[in-house]
Structure 1
Amino acid sequence: MINEKRNEVRKRRIKNATQIEEGFHASQDGGSIGCCGYILYLVSIICMLATIPFSLCLCTKVLNHYEKVVIFRLGRLRSRQDKKPGIFFINPYLDSFIKVDMRTLIFDVPPQEVLTRDSVTVAVDAVIYYRIQNAIMSVTNVRDVYSSTKLLAAYTLRNVLGTKDLSQLLSEREAISHLMQSLLAEATALWGVQVERVEVKDVRLPCQLQRAMAAEAEATREARAKIIAAEGEHNASRALKEAADIIAKSPAALQLRYLQSLSSVAAEKNSTIIFPLPMNILDGRL
């Protein structure tokens, strides 16, 4: 059941991200740099040809395998197609570019003072794994995608944990992590960010609450130990009663048990053995 819900959330997230990306690309299509832009472009080509080979140092750029580049020409997006890793060329007079790291990034959310639903103040920190899924959206839709994602992660952590009890916070970390991941994924879809994993690392409780919980746990263990000891005494007394009933039916069995006890004592190599003598022997009735 839980896996089905997760799959539904994942499909809905992918569908929303696809729709947002299609709408974004549609809004970026169309238009040109204009007449003045074409004139400047021709002038820049002439300047580049006139300054060869010095202009080649400014035109040639290198793109790493884990990077993508967003190029603007006269303030407009030059192309929506990704550049292949390696060498690429730009017009140094008209173009500006921004490199985007596409690797998975890790962010440690600073400890957040959170008031739970049952009015307990705890300090919780988490770790977020995310990466840039669409380089163009991460550059054009938000000013600083990394800082924005970090602030949103801290804000989401406080909001989610504020709706949970302390017992739920301690026992349902996996469910809380999946909830935070879905909320962050939906919020950052327009930024071209994909949140891959969210983990709640540590939950720090106040010292007084820790002592109270330790005392409660100790009292619970002592009560359980007393119950187990009482059950053992009850079972032992029942077994002794059954043994006494069996021995009472056969007087010779008591003598045999008595001799067996003496044999066990003699095996310990004691120097003195106390031998109880039944009183009925003196009366001559044994």
Structure 2
Amino acid sequence: MRFGRIRKDSPAGPGIIWMIPCTDDIQMMDLRTQSFNLPPQEILTKDSVTVTVDAVVYFHIQKPLHCLLNIQNNQYATELITVATLRNILGQHSLYNLLTRRESISFKCRTDIDKTTSRWGVVIERVEIKDVFLPFELQKAMAAEAEGTRVAKAKIIESEGEIKAAENLKEASQIMMENPHIMLLRYLQTLNAIASNNSATIFFPFPMDLPLVTPER
């Protein structure tokens, strides 16, 4: 700037920049990607649940002249608009959507923030929601709900297994009724399995109804 007005060769650099002392003024702009952490924000979700959200923002200066002339402090203004936009968008979602749709919510935040910061020459690269802190009572309730869901699924799987086992036993019993020799072989196989354990004692009740094997003539 010369006498407070933008020079024709602005923005200048990088490299050697010639200036006239006492008349020219140079404002240095960092064009690299910058980041800042948002302070934890307490947000009331759509289903009236209070959560604490922690996020990080990545941005860079694309148009140095816009950043110098249109805004006094670009980073501070970007932080303020990010906090306001993040609170407005997260307040429109339920807790379930907030926990399961972080990527789409982050993209929505980045798009809305970039609409405002583009007039300042600032481009928002990413808005990432790092952590969502839930109240301790809500964590306990969610854990109990998840445990109940797992128990219910386990009982359903167990009952389905019993139904399939009963169907298989029904088919096996029909096959055994058609051929009595199979029942005798199954009985002897069971006795063999029990006899393999030396610490077991087997009692045979009498009379014992066993299928009679008649030799073929």
Q: Do both share a fold (TM > 0.5)?
A: yes
Q: Which amino acid aligns with 2:57?
A: I
CA change 1:281–1:226 in 2 (3 A) is closer
Output one character per residue of 1:141-182: Cα deviation in whole Å (capped at 9) or x when no partner. 111011000111111110110111111111111110111111
Q: Does 1:210 align with 2:139?
A: yes
Please state how far the C-alpha of 1:127 moved relative to its aligned partner: 0.9
**Which residue number corresponds to residue 202 of structure 2?**
274
Residue 208 of structure 1 aligns to a residue in which SS? helix
Residue 164 of structure 1 aligns to a residue in which SS? coil
User: Do 1:80 and 1:136's aligned partners in 2 also have CA atoms closer than 8 Å?
Assistant: no
**Which residue number corresponds to residue 173 of structure 1?**
102
Please state how far the C-alpha of 1:229 moved relative to its aligned partner: 1.1
Q: How does 1:104-253 map to 2 (within 5 A)?
A: 104-253=33-182
Output the TM-score relative to the length of structure 1: 0.70
Q: Does 1:83 align with 2:35?
A: no
Larger fraction in strand: 1
CA change 1:272–1:195 in 2 (3 A) is closer
Q: Distance in 1 between matches of 2:5 and 2:200?
A: 108
Please state how far the C-alpha of 1:79 moved relative to its aligned partner: 2.6
From the CA coordinates, give the structure whose radius of gyration is larger.
Answer: 1
Larger mean Cα displacement after TM superposition, 201-210 or 73-82? 73-82
CA change 1:114–1:280 in 2 (3 A) is closer
CA change 1:275–1:249 in 2 (3 A) is farther
Output the TM-score relative to the length of structure 2: 0.91
Higher relative contact order (CA 8 A, sep 6+): 2
Residue 124 of structure 1 aligns to a residue in which SS? strand
User: Do 2:38 and 2:54's aligned partners in 1 also have CA atoms closer than 8 Å?
Assistant: yes
Which residues of structure 2 form unaligned runs of 5+? none
Larger fraction in helix: 1
Q: CA RMSD in A?
A: 2.1
Please state how far the C-alpha of 1:258 moved relative to its aligned partner: 1.4
User: Do 1:173 and 1:200's aligned partners in 2 also have CA atoms closer than 8 Å?
Assistant: yes
Q: How many residue pairs align between the two structures?
A: 213
